[in-house]
Protein backbone atom coordinates (compact mmCIF):
# COMPACT_ATOMS: atom_id res chain seq x y z
CA UNK A 1 0.00 0.00 0.00
CA UNK A 2 1.39 3.39 -1.00
CA UNK A 3 1.97 6.29 1.36
CA UNK A 4 -0.84 8.15 -0.35
CA UNK A 5 -3.26 5.25 0.24
CA UNK A 6 -2.31 5.18 3.92
CA UNK A 7 -2.93 8.91 4.24
CA UNK A 8 -6.32 8.61 2.57
CA UNK A 9 -7.39 5.73 4.81
CA UNK A 10 -6.19 7.61 7.89
CA UNK A 11 -8.05 10.72 6.81
CA UNK A 12 -11.31 8.79 6.51
CA UNK A 13 -10.82 7.40 10.06
CA UNK A 14 -10.03 10.77 11.61
CA UNK A 15 -13.23 10.75 13.70
CA UNK A 16 -13.58 6.97 14.23
CA UNK A 17 -14.13 6.21 17.91
CA UNK A 18 -12.39 3.31 19.57
CA UNK A 19 -14.69 0.52 20.78
CA UNK A 20 -13.36 0.79 24.36
CA UNK A 21 -12.36 3.60 26.69
CA UNK A 22 -13.53 7.22 26.95
CA UNK A 23 -13.53 9.16 23.70
CA UNK A 24 -10.91 11.95 23.59
CA UNK A 25 -11.06 15.33 21.92
CA UNK A 26 -7.70 15.35 20.16
CA UNK A 27 -8.00 19.01 19.21
CA UNK A 28 -7.30 19.93 22.86
CA UNK A 29 -3.65 18.95 22.48
CA UNK A 30 -0.78 20.58 20.62
CA UNK A 31 0.43 18.40 17.75
CA UNK A 32 3.47 20.58 16.95
CA UNK A 33 5.55 20.54 20.14
CA UNK A 34 8.87 22.31 20.42
CA UNK A 35 12.08 20.60 19.36
CA UNK A 36 15.03 19.60 21.55
CA UNK A 37 18.69 19.26 20.49
CA UNK A 38 20.65 16.00 20.81
CA UNK A 39 22.25 15.59 24.23
CA UNK A 40 23.86 12.95 26.45
CA UNK A 41 21.49 11.20 28.85
CA UNK A 42 23.64 12.28 31.78
CA UNK A 43 23.16 15.96 30.89
CA UNK A 44 19.51 15.85 31.95
CA UNK A 45 18.57 17.55 35.21
CA UNK A 46 18.44 15.62 38.48
CA UNK A 47 14.63 15.57 38.53
CA UNK A 48 14.48 14.25 34.97
CA UNK A 49 17.06 11.58 35.78
CA UNK A 50 15.06 10.44 38.80
CA UNK A 51 11.91 10.28 36.64
CA UNK A 52 13.75 8.16 34.08
CA UNK A 53 15.03 5.77 36.75
CA UNK A 54 11.47 5.31 38.05
CA UNK A 55 10.54 3.82 34.67
CA UNK A 56 13.59 1.60 34.32
CA UNK A 57 15.66 3.97 32.18
CA UNK A 58 19.25 4.37 33.42
CA UNK A 59 20.82 7.69 32.32
CA UNK A 60 24.26 6.12 32.83
CA UNK A 61 23.30 3.08 30.68
CA UNK A 62 24.39 0.62 33.34
CA UNK A 63 23.91 -2.96 32.13
CA UNK A 64 22.25 -1.76 28.91
CA UNK A 65 22.87 -2.80 25.30
CA UNK A 66 21.66 0.49 23.87
CA UNK A 67 19.42 3.47 24.44
CA UNK A 68 16.82 5.61 22.70
CA UNK A 69 15.35 8.80 24.16
CA UNK A 70 12.70 10.91 22.45
CA UNK A 71 11.46 14.14 24.05
CA UNK A 72 8.20 15.29 22.44
CA UNK A 73 9.02 14.73 18.75
CA UNK A 74 12.82 15.10 19.03
CA UNK A 75 15.28 12.20 19.14
CA UNK A 76 17.77 13.51 21.69
CA UNK A 77 19.78 10.31 22.17
CA UNK A 78 20.17 7.11 20.17
CA UNK A 79 23.02 4.66 20.52
CA UNK A 80 23.98 0.96 20.33
CA UNK A 81 26.45 -0.78 22.60
CA UNK A 82 26.17 -4.37 21.34
CA UNK A 83 27.02 -6.26 18.16
CA UNK A 84 24.08 -7.49 16.15
CA UNK A 85 21.81 -4.68 17.37
CA UNK A 86 20.40 -1.71 15.50
CA UNK A 87 18.66 1.27 17.12
CA UNK A 88 17.40 4.14 14.99
CA UNK A 89 14.46 6.48 14.84
CA UNK A 90 11.77 5.12 12.54
CA UNK A 91 12.29 8.22 10.39
CA UNK A 92 15.96 7.35 9.88
CA UNK A 93 15.21 3.64 9.42
CA UNK A 94 12.72 4.34 6.63
CA UNK A 95 15.37 6.40 4.84
CA UNK A 96 18.00 3.68 5.25
CA UNK A 97 15.92 0.58 4.41
CA UNK A 98 13.52 0.54 1.47
CA UNK A 99 12.16 -2.83 2.65
CA UNK A 100 10.91 -1.42 5.95
CA UNK A 101 7.90 0.38 4.51
CA UNK A 102 7.15 -2.44 2.06
CA UNK A 103 7.31 -5.35 4.55
CA UNK A 104 6.59 -3.93 8.02
CA UNK A 105 5.07 -0.44 8.05
CA UNK A 106 1.37 -0.78 9.01
CA UNK A 107 1.45 -4.53 8.33
CA UNK A 108 0.52 -5.75 11.86
CA UNK A 109 -1.95 -2.92 12.54
CA UNK A 110 -4.55 -1.17 10.42
CA UNK A 111 -3.98 2.54 9.90
CA UNK A 112 -7.73 3.14 10.08
CA UNK A 113 -8.35 1.02 13.18
CA UNK A 114 -9.58 4.11 15.05
CA UNK A 115 -9.01 7.85 15.42
CA UNK A 116 -5.79 7.22 17.36
CA UNK A 117 -4.03 5.15 14.67
CA UNK A 118 -5.28 7.75 12.20
CA UNK A 119 -3.81 10.55 14.32
CA UNK A 120 -0.39 8.90 14.39
CA UNK A 121 -0.27 8.53 10.60
CA UNK A 122 -1.43 12.09 10.01
CA UNK A 123 0.78 13.61 12.75
CA UNK A 124 3.68 11.17 12.83
CA UNK A 125 6.52 12.18 15.18
CA UNK A 126 9.15 9.49 14.66
CA UNK A 127 9.47 6.68 17.26
CA UNK A 128 12.07 3.94 17.70
CA UNK A 129 13.29 1.20 15.37
CA UNK A 130 15.02 -1.67 17.19
CA UNK A 131 16.33 -4.72 15.34
CA UNK A 132 18.19 -7.80 16.55
CA UNK A 133 20.09 -9.29 13.61
CA UNK A 134 19.86 -13.03 12.77
CA UNK A 135 21.26 -15.21 15.55
CA UNK A 136 22.21 -12.27 17.78
CA UNK A 137 21.68 -12.77 21.52
CA UNK A 138 21.17 -9.32 23.04
CA UNK A 139 21.02 -10.40 26.68
CA UNK A 140 21.45 -6.99 28.32
CA UNK A 141 18.25 -4.95 27.92
CA UNK A 142 17.80 -2.20 25.37
CA UNK A 143 16.15 0.86 26.92
CA UNK A 144 13.80 3.19 25.05
CA UNK A 145 12.08 6.24 26.51
CA UNK A 146 9.22 8.33 25.15
CA UNK A 147 9.10 11.54 27.15
CA UNK A 148 6.47 14.29 27.25
CA UNK A 149 8.43 17.44 28.05
CA UNK A 150 5.80 20.12 27.50
CA UNK A 151 2.33 20.89 28.85
CA UNK A 152 -0.70 19.77 26.77
CA UNK A 153 1.43 18.21 24.02
CA UNK A 154 0.24 15.34 21.82
CA UNK A 155 3.00 12.80 21.17
CA UNK A 156 2.26 10.54 18.19
CA UNK A 157 4.96 7.91 17.55
CA UNK A 158 5.27 4.81 15.37
CA UNK A 159 7.64 2.15 16.73
CA UNK A 160 8.99 -0.99 15.05
CA UNK A 161 10.83 -3.92 16.69
CA UNK A 162 12.17 -6.79 14.57
CA UNK A 163 13.73 -9.92 16.05
CA UNK A 164 15.33 -11.78 13.18
CA UNK A 165 15.51 -15.63 13.03
CA UNK A 166 17.21 -17.19 16.05
CA UNK A 167 17.81 -13.83 17.75
CA UNK A 168 17.05 -12.84 21.34
CA UNK A 169 16.15 -9.32 22.45
CA UNK A 170 15.02 -7.74 25.71
CA UNK A 171 13.56 -4.23 25.65
CA UNK A 172 12.51 -2.02 28.55
CA UNK A 173 10.59 1.08 27.56
CA UNK A 174 9.75 3.86 29.99
CA UNK A 175 7.01 6.33 29.11
CA UNK A 176 6.65 9.42 31.29
CA UNK A 177 6.15 13.15 31.62
CA UNK A 178 8.60 15.78 32.83
CA UNK A 179 8.21 16.51 36.57
CA UNK A 180 6.51 19.88 35.93
CA UNK A 181 4.09 18.57 33.26
CA UNK A 182 0.56 17.71 34.40
CA UNK A 183 -1.42 17.10 31.21
CA UNK A 184 -0.77 15.71 27.76
CA UNK A 185 -1.55 12.98 25.25
CA UNK A 186 0.57 10.00 24.24
CA UNK A 187 -0.39 7.79 21.30
CA UNK A 188 2.10 5.08 20.47
CA UNK A 189 1.65 2.74 17.51
CA UNK A 190 3.98 -0.25 17.93
CA UNK A 191 4.50 -3.17 15.57
CA UNK A 192 6.62 -6.11 16.73
CA UNK A 193 7.85 -8.96 14.52
CA UNK A 194 9.38 -12.10 16.04
CA UNK A 195 10.84 -14.31 13.34
CA UNK A 196 11.42 -18.06 13.38
CA UNK A 197 13.04 -19.18 16.63
CA UNK A 198 13.35 -15.61 17.91
CA UNK A 199 12.65 -14.40 21.44
CA UNK A 200 11.44 -10.95 22.44
CA UNK A 201 10.67 -9.72 25.94
CA UNK A 202 9.10 -6.26 26.08
CA UNK A 203 8.71 -4.57 29.46
CA UNK A 204 6.82 -1.28 29.48
CA UNK A 205 6.69 0.86 32.63
CA UNK A 206 4.39 3.90 32.52
CA UNK A 207 4.79 6.88 34.83
CA UNK A 208 2.34 9.52 33.65
CA UNK A 209 0.65 12.52 35.25
CA UNK A 210 -2.78 12.91 36.78
CA UNK A 211 -4.22 14.64 33.68
CA UNK A 212 -2.43 12.64 30.97
CA UNK A 213 -4.34 10.53 28.42
CA UNK A 214 -2.65 7.48 26.89
CA UNK A 215 -3.67 5.41 23.86
CA UNK A 216 -1.09 2.73 22.91
CA UNK A 217 -1.88 0.66 19.81
CA UNK A 218 0.25 -2.50 19.59
CA UNK A 219 0.31 -5.69 17.52
CA UNK A 220 2.82 -8.55 17.37
CA UNK A 221 3.35 -11.28 14.77
CA UNK A 222 5.21 -14.40 15.95
CA UNK A 223 6.57 -17.02 13.57
CA UNK A 224 7.43 -20.70 14.14
CA UNK A 225 9.11 -21.41 17.46
CA UNK A 226 9.08 -17.72 18.38
CA UNK A 227 8.41 -16.43 21.89
CA UNK A 228 6.91 -13.06 22.83
CA UNK A 229 6.80 -11.99 26.47
CA UNK A 230 5.04 -8.72 27.37
CA UNK A 231 5.16 -7.08 30.81
CA UNK A 232 3.08 -3.95 31.31
CA UNK A 233 3.33 -1.91 34.53
CA UNK A 234 1.16 1.14 35.30
CA UNK A 235 1.22 1.83 39.03
CA UNK A 236 1.20 5.64 39.12
CA UNK A 237 -1.59 8.18 38.46
CA UNK A 238 -2.94 8.60 34.93
CA UNK A 239 -6.17 10.25 33.80
CA UNK A 240 -7.22 7.90 31.00
CA UNK A 241 -5.53 4.78 29.64
CA UNK A 242 -6.92 2.45 27.00
CA UNK A 243 -4.98 -0.30 25.24
CA UNK A 244 -5.76 -3.71 23.77
CA UNK A 245 -2.51 -5.21 22.37
CA UNK A 246 -2.96 -8.10 19.97
CA UNK A 247 -0.63 -10.99 19.13
CA UNK A 248 -0.89 -13.27 16.11
CA UNK A 249 0.76 -16.66 16.71
CA UNK A 250 1.28 -17.67 13.09
CA UNK A 251 4.07 -20.20 13.43
CA UNK A 252 4.03 -23.74 14.76
CA UNK A 253 4.92 -23.87 18.46
CA UNK A 254 4.88 -20.08 18.89
CA UNK A 255 4.20 -18.61 22.34
CA UNK A 256 2.79 -15.37 23.77
CA UNK A 257 2.80 -14.46 27.48
CA UNK A 258 1.28 -11.26 28.90
CA UNK A 259 1.69 -9.91 32.44
CA UNK A 260 -0.21 -6.74 33.41
CA UNK A 261 0.18 -4.84 36.72
CA UNK A 262 -2.38 -2.05 37.07
CA UNK A 263 -3.38 0.60 39.62
CA UNK A 264 -6.38 2.94 39.26
CA UNK A 265 -6.23 6.04 41.45
CA UNK A 266 -9.28 8.26 42.20
CA UNK A 267 -10.47 10.06 39.07
CA UNK A 268 -8.64 7.73 36.70
CA UNK A 269 -9.99 5.33 34.07
CA UNK A 270 -7.95 2.32 32.94
CA UNK A 271 -9.18 -0.05 30.23
CA UNK A 272 -6.45 -2.61 29.53
CA UNK A 273 -6.76 -5.82 27.60
CA UNK A 274 -4.88 -8.43 25.64
CA UNK A 275 -5.89 -10.50 22.64
CA UNK A 276 -4.13 -13.53 21.13
CA UNK A 277 -5.00 -15.31 17.89
CA UNK A 278 -3.66 -18.86 18.08
CA UNK A 279 -3.35 -19.62 14.37
CA UNK A 280 -0.76 -22.42 14.26
CA UNK A 281 -0.55 -25.96 15.69
CA UNK A 282 1.15 -26.19 19.07
CA UNK A 283 0.88 -22.48 19.78
CA UNK A 284 0.07 -21.41 23.31
CA UNK A 285 -0.68 -18.22 25.20
CA UNK A 286 -1.29 -16.89 28.69
CA UNK A 287 -2.57 -13.52 29.87
CA UNK A 288 -2.17 -12.70 33.57
CA UNK A 289 -3.43 -9.49 35.17
CA UNK A 290 -3.14 -8.09 38.69
CA UNK A 291 -5.38 -5.05 39.15
CA UNK A 292 -5.84 -2.72 42.13
CA UNK A 293 -8.24 0.19 42.46
CA UNK A 294 -7.74 2.91 45.03
CA UNK A 295 -10.90 4.68 43.83
CA UNK A 296 -10.60 4.73 40.04
CA UNK A 297 -12.37 2.68 37.37
CA UNK A 298 -10.55 -0.32 35.93
CA UNK A 299 -11.57 -2.67 33.13
CA UNK A 300 -9.44 -5.74 32.42
CA UNK A 301 -10.14 -7.56 29.18
CA UNK A 302 -8.78 -10.73 27.69
CA UNK A 303 -9.63 -12.49 24.45
CA UNK A 304 -8.18 -15.83 23.34
CA UNK A 305 -9.06 -17.16 19.89
CA UNK A 306 -8.23 -20.80 19.12
CA UNK A 307 -8.22 -21.15 15.35
CA UNK A 308 -6.59 -24.58 14.82
CA UNK A 309 -6.65 -27.87 16.76
CA UNK A 310 -4.10 -28.54 19.47
CA UNK A 311 -3.62 -25.02 20.84
CA UNK A 312 -3.66 -24.10 24.54
CA UNK A 313 -4.29 -20.78 26.26
CA UNK A 314 -5.28 -19.41 29.66
CA UNK A 315 -6.60 -16.12 31.05
CA UNK A 316 -6.13 -15.09 34.67
CA UNK A 317 -7.26 -11.89 36.36
CA UNK A 318 -7.08 -11.03 40.06
CA UNK A 319 -8.46 -7.75 41.36
CA UNK A 320 -8.08 -5.97 44.70
CA UNK A 321 -10.41 -3.17 45.80
CA UNK A 322 -8.88 -0.78 48.35
CA UNK A 323 -11.57 1.92 48.30
CA UNK A 324 -15.40 1.89 48.49
CA UNK A 325 -15.51 4.12 45.41
CA UNK A 326 -13.34 1.85 43.25
CA UNK A 327 -14.53 -0.31 40.35
CA UNK A 328 -12.96 -3.37 38.75
CA UNK A 329 -14.66 -5.17 35.90
CA UNK A 330 -13.03 -8.32 34.50
CA UNK A 331 -14.19 -9.29 31.00
CA UNK A 332 -12.72 -12.58 29.76
CA UNK A 333 -13.52 -13.99 26.32
CA UNK A 334 -12.73 -17.47 25.05
CA UNK A 335 -13.39 -18.22 21.39
CA UNK A 336 -12.86 -21.68 19.97
CA UNK A 337 -13.34 -21.91 16.21
CA UNK A 338 -12.43 -25.59 15.79
CA UNK A 339 -12.59 -28.77 17.92
CA UNK A 340 -9.67 -29.81 20.13
CA UNK A 341 -8.65 -26.45 21.56
CA UNK A 342 -7.91 -25.92 25.26
CA UNK A 343 -8.91 -22.45 26.40
CA UNK A 344 -9.56 -21.55 30.04
CA UNK A 345 -9.96 -18.57 32.34
CA UNK A 346 -10.23 -17.67 36.02
CA UNK A 347 -10.99 -14.35 37.67
CA UNK A 348 -11.39 -13.08 41.21
CA UNK A 349 -12.05 -9.68 42.75
CA UNK A 350 -11.90 -8.96 46.47
CA UNK A 351 -10.32 -6.98 49.25
CA UNK A 352 -7.46 -7.46 51.70
CA UNK A 353 -8.52 -10.00 54.28
CA UNK A 354 -8.71 -8.59 57.80
CA UNK A 355 -7.17 -11.79 59.15
CA UNK A 356 -4.04 -11.30 57.03
CA UNK A 357 -3.53 -7.78 58.37
CA UNK A 358 -4.07 -8.89 61.96
CA UNK A 359 -1.63 -11.77 61.56
CA UNK A 360 1.14 -9.49 60.32
CA UNK A 361 0.41 -6.96 63.06
CA UNK A 362 1.01 -9.67 65.66
CA UNK A 363 4.50 -9.88 64.16
CA UNK A 364 5.18 -6.28 65.12
CA UNK A 365 4.10 -4.46 61.96
CA UNK A 366 1.81 -1.44 61.86
CA UNK A 367 -1.44 -1.71 59.93
CA UNK A 368 0.03 0.37 57.07
CA UNK A 369 3.14 -1.79 56.89
CA UNK A 370 1.04 -4.95 56.88
CA UNK A 371 -1.11 -3.65 54.02
CA UNK A 372 1.98 -2.66 52.05
CA UNK A 373 3.47 -6.15 52.35
CA UNK A 374 0.20 -7.79 51.29
CA UNK A 375 -0.22 -5.49 48.29
CA UNK A 376 3.34 -5.95 47.09
CA UNK A 377 2.95 -9.71 47.36
CA UNK A 378 -0.33 -9.53 45.43
CA UNK A 379 1.32 -7.59 42.59
CA UNK A 380 4.39 -9.76 42.27
CA UNK A 381 4.54 -11.94 39.18
CA UNK A 382 7.59 -14.15 38.72
CA UNK A 383 8.57 -14.94 35.14
CA UNK A 384 11.42 -17.41 34.65
CA UNK A 385 11.99 -16.30 31.05
CA UNK A 386 12.68 -12.72 32.15
CA UNK A 387 16.30 -11.61 32.76
CA UNK A 388 17.14 -10.79 36.35
CA UNK A 389 17.67 -7.11 35.54
CA UNK A 390 14.14 -6.71 34.16
CA UNK A 391 12.64 -8.65 37.06
CA UNK A 392 14.42 -6.24 39.39
CA UNK A 393 13.03 -3.20 37.55
CA UNK A 394 9.48 -4.51 37.86
CA UNK A 395 9.92 -5.19 41.57
CA UNK A 396 11.30 -1.69 42.09
CA UNK A 397 8.27 -0.22 40.30
CA UNK A 398 5.98 -2.20 42.59
CA UNK A 399 7.87 -1.02 45.66
CA UNK A 400 7.72 2.61 44.49
CA UNK A 401 3.95 2.42 44.03
CA UNK A 402 3.37 1.78 47.73
CA UNK A 403 3.14 5.54 48.35
CA UNK A 404 -0.01 5.64 46.21
CA UNK A 405 -1.64 2.70 47.94
CA UNK A 406 -1.54 3.71 51.63
In the chain, where the domains are located: 3-405
Closest CA to 236 of 6, 33, 53, 55: 55
- Asked whether 225 and 189 are in contact (CB, 8 A), the reply is no
The count of C-alpha atoms lying within 13 angstroms of the C-alpha of 223, restricted to the half-sphere facing its C-beta, is 13
- Asked whether 127 and 70 are in contact (CB, 8 A), the reply is yes
Helices (H), 21-109: 46-54, 90-96, 98-103
**Residue 246 DSSP SS3:** strand
pLDDT in tens, the chain (406 residues): 688 899 999 999 999 999 999 999 999 999 888 899 998 888 888 888 888 888 889 999 889 999 999 999 999 999 999 999 999 999 999 999 999 999 999 999 999 999 999 999 999 999 999 999 999 999 999 999 999 999 999 999 999 999 999 999 999 999 989 888 999 999 999 999 999 999 999 999 998 988 999 999 999 999 999 999 999 999 888 999 999 999 999 999 999 999 999 999 999 999 999 999 999 999 999 999 999 999 999 999 999 999 999 999 999 999 999 888 999 999 999 999 999 999 999 988 887 777 877 777 787 777 777 777 777 777 776 665 566 777 777 777 777 666 665 5
pTM: 0.93
Cβ burial of 57 (10 Å; 0-12, 13-18, 19+) is: buried
User: CB neighbours of 67 closer than 8 A, spacing ≥ 6?
Assistant: 41, 57, 61, 77, 78, 79, 87, 142, 143, 144, 145
Residue 99: CB atoms within 10 Å: 8
Q: What is the DSSP string of 299-317?
A: EEEEEEEE-STT-EEEEEE
Closest CA to 113 of 5, 224, 17, 253: 17
Amino acid sequence: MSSQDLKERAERARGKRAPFGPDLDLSLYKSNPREFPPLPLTSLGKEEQRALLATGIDPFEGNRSGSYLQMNRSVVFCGTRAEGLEILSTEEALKRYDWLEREYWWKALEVDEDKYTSFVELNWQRGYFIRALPGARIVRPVQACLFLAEESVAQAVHNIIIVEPGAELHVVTGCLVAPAVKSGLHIGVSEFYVKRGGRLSFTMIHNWGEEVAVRPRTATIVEEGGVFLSNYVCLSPVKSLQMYPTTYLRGKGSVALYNNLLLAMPGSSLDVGGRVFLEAPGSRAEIRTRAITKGGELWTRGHLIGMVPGVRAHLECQGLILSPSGLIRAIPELEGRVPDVQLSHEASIGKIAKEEIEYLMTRGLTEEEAKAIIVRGFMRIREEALPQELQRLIEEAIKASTKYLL
